[in-house]
Chains A and B, each alone.
Chain A
Amino acid sequence: MKFFASLVDRLMATTKTNEKIGALEEYFHNASDRDKVWVIALFTGRRPKRTISSTLLRVWCAEYCQLPLWLVEECYHTVGDLSETIALLIDAYYTPDTHPADHSLTHYIEAFHQVEKATEAERKQVMLQGWKELQTVTERFIFNKLLSGSFRIGVSQQLMVKALAKVTQLEPAVIAHRISGKWDPGKITFDELLNDAGSLADDSRPYPFYLAYPLEAEPESLGSIEDWQAEWKWDGIRGQLIKRNNEFFVWSRGEELMTDKFPEYDPICKLLPDGTVLDGEIIVANGNEPLPFSLMQKRIGRKNLSNKIMQEAPVSFFAYDLLELNFEDYRSRPLAERRLALEQVVKLVNHEKLQLSSVVTCATWQELRELREESRQHYAEGFMLKRKDSVYQTGRKRGDWWKWKLDPMTIDCVMIYAQKGSGRRSNLYTDYTFAVRDGDSLVPFAKAYSGLTDKEFAQVDAFVKRNAIEKFGPVRTVKPDLVFELAFEGIAESNRHKSGVAVRFPRIKRWRHDKKPDEINTLDDLRQLLELYGTN
């Protein structure tokens, strides 16, 4: 564990990409084969199956430190990360009564795996053993993290790809593809994962998504509209449909395998030619007619897909790109060519669940601009602009693809609750609940935690610390004094909130120092927006 811990320490000790890549490179040159595979897995969000609940961790930690459980909870709210909280507490109350050990990373992962069906006492034994035999806060932090969540230590997928490309001397795009998809870090070797043989073995592997930046300038700056393809920007889940060797996979952009979540797509699979990968939007729709996104949220939240929810929230796949055909990688062909091939595939399949995301043709940018105002009627967020001769790139890139979104809706509201954030916002009140006025009362309608500068967050934090009304647990009720303009993309009816509405992607647009709490918007204003743009 020491070797991996020193990598984690080095990664956290720098903010510079090159130093991080250097640290990873050195690690991959020297670490054991099995540990290396686990590190790739852990840093790309593939954690081992959880075998000990966080509740038990808290209880055992409190017991070991002889602290009341509520105090452990308070620490957690301040630190914002349970693994770190426990590592700090164990470190503070540790009495050296166990022989220090330096087992491998894989050793601990396997130890957790082995207690999956063990008794609580046996699981506790594994936990205490680790806490005691490991020696530093970092080692214990990693140990806890193996159970409780993903490592957020500033290593992005992209960074990992760059480091592995250096180690293996392969192209970054090749690496990105090979480490994506479904593979079992407990079974695959480093070479199998990264060399050719391994990539052939896995038919499920998706391509890294090409992502667009928002267009901040006017579209005229992009040159002639003739060179661009415009499509509605759908409000769904970006996904890839993959059929290889008659097996079918649905991936989300978050690299989550979601095949089971969308059984409606199974018929598409039968009709698709073998060796095909489509990029598109998983979208709640009746055939080619999109429905409100709020239905998708309802559906995604369910553990079991009932017939009822599948009827209420049916899904289609709006395809907009073709990445592989006849097992051939199409990504380096120009969009215009990919589009033609895509149109043929969709036609061939000819199933209502597979729709072609239509191209919107306008003679001028101005015409398109006017059409964009109607986005909400189409359940779209604006347009995607793609250069017709663009290749399908890897990750978020500027230049060839842009999202040109509609301006968000906005509401002035007042902050009424605050909660401390996590990660780099640890011990800072950065998660807020906002309310609008309804007569004499304030009605909460949205939570947001982005949009302010670090300095503004510090100011709000200081305000919360001085004006908190209730003091225990994570949430503080604060004096309704600070007014913010909140921006959001959509609005729908909801019975989850007191206000009866739910807004989509709420974020703070600006702090309205110029407004007083009695000048904020009302519940009626929200209802009016709901009537105008409501999607449910």
Chain B
Amino acid sequence: MEFFSILGDNVALGLATALTPEHLFYCALGVFLGTLAGVIPGIGTLAAMSLLFPLTFYLSPTAALVMLAGIYYGTTYGGSTTSILLNLPGTPSAAVACIDGHPMASQGRAGVALLITTIASFVGATVGILLMMLFSPMIVSVALQFGPTEYFSLMALGLIVAATMSNESPLKGLAMILVGIIVGLVGLDIYTGAGRFTFSSPTLYDGISIVALAMGLFGVSQIIGSIRSAESKVSNIQKITIRSMLPTLTECRQSVKPLFRGAGIGSFFGALPGSGGTIASFVAYATEKKISKTPERFGHGAIEGLASPESANNAADQTAFIPTMALGIPGTASMAMMLGVLMIHGISPGPSLMSNSPDLFWGLIMSFWIGNLLLLLINIPMIGLWVNLLRTPYQYLYPGILMFICLGTYSVSNSTIDLWLVILFGLAGYALLRLNFTLPPLLLGFVLGPLMEENFRRAMLYSRGDLSTFVTHPISGSFLGLAVAILATSFYLSARRKRLKEAPAP
């Protein structure tokens, strides 16, 4: 019982931090702007997050955190809205929402689809937050015993899972992670102070800013790719009234169980390093289809096919915070973004955060929950605004997005050097996208690379240069064993997929 009374105290502490009028205002602002950016077609969750994060740099740390939470949820939700109405997934994890969400919209049930998405976000996130509150303290107590050897192996495992899951070719995923690590190496070496890849330019000594990298990779490259393709698209989106959002009684009954099943599935996959929302939503969809008595309805606007994956997606987004906050190891690119921005605010997540600054840790968790609640309250009356935004032709929107990229980047350091980096990464990202590489693993490598190097070097100091230390430590050894097994499986699967694809051709 003592455990729960401590938990109760922590929740109270968190709520006291998050519930001041000022913080509520910034949370609401974050949700609003996040949804706005997430809704814009061609701007995925990562791009929307990188566009808006610089705004928080001008706020006090706590206000910034609360606003970050709002932005984070807002962008995810905005992405789903675009998927349903335009059949155009802004993020891979929103792709599943297209399968049944868009048919619902074509049948005139767009309002219901949007409402279910909102509710699913809330249910999934709430379950995820509860689990996070329960499990984070336990994971922290285990993680306190981790040394650099274990950390290195755990990060290697996370990166390998991320590389193999996000791309059909595991080699390309691995390559993107390595490129990310190399970009992350730019700057001063923490042990010796030697400048690496700085080319004697003092501005590169601090390393490359995550804002510049993310804006280039996910903002500029996407815009370049979208301008022409958006011109040929004619949007025919119906008007959505609050009344049309009300689901029928049957629809309510049909979606209750999937909501919670999805939340369970999502929570599990989210907490695994490297997997996250995309896999969770696909698994949730497949599960619903399998256990349904009427699987033939799936793909033609089955409400379960929308409720469950959306709930899973949001639960996973939430439990993905468990490794991020408790271990300091982000499992997905959006978590890596979050971690990077927290570090800019002077917060370094990890086992010591929870004991050293509990107000911050619990305040953040509670503001996630409040962010979700506000999402529900703000977005239902504003849905008309989002629909109008989606009707606006892209050519009127992209100059504005570019302006946000410019001002956001410029404001981080008040210098134009980051803008030139945005251009460089934008071009590189566009080329990589066209050559069928996926970019999110690059960001993950960028954030984890320096941490990996630090732990690798520390581990080598402890073991006096004996590489076998990674295998002989039991926890570290099992992490690496798992990583090798996953890598081998994914190479086998991708080779088989290739053979199957080429077999029918003469």
A binds B: no
